Chains A and B, each alone.
Chain A
Amino acid sequence: AQSVTQLGSHVSVSEGALVLLRCNYSSSVPPYLFWYVQYPNQGLQLLLKYTSAATLVKGINGFEAEFKKSETSFHLTKPSAHMSDAAEYFCAVSESLMNRDDKIIFGKGTRLHILP
Chain B
Amino acid sequence: EAGVAQSPRYKIIEKRQSVAFWCNPISGHATLYWYQQILGQGPKLLIQFQNNGVVDDSQLPKDRFSAERLKGVDSTLKIQPAKLEDSAVYLCASSLDRQGFHEQYFGPGTRLTVT
Contact = CB atoms under 8 A, between A and B. Distances in A.
Nearest to B107: A43
| Majority SS at the chain B contact face | loop
A36 B43 CA distance: 11
A106 to B, nearest CB: 3
Given A43-B106, A46-B103, A101 B40 contact: no
Contacts of B55: 101
Given A41-B108, A44-B106, A101-B98, A108 B40 contact: yes
Given A43-B4, A43-B91, A98-B99, A104 B104 contact: yes
A109 B42 CA distance: 6
A32 B104 CA distance: 13
A42 B107 CA distance: 8
B98 A96 contact: no
Given A98-B99, A101-B56, 20 more contacts: A36-B106, A41-B108, A41-B109, A43-B91, A44-B43, A44-B104, A44-B106, A45-B106, A46-B104, A49-B101, A90-B43, A94-B101, A97-B100, A102-B98, A103-B48, A103-B100, A104-B100, A106-B44, A108-B40, A108-B42
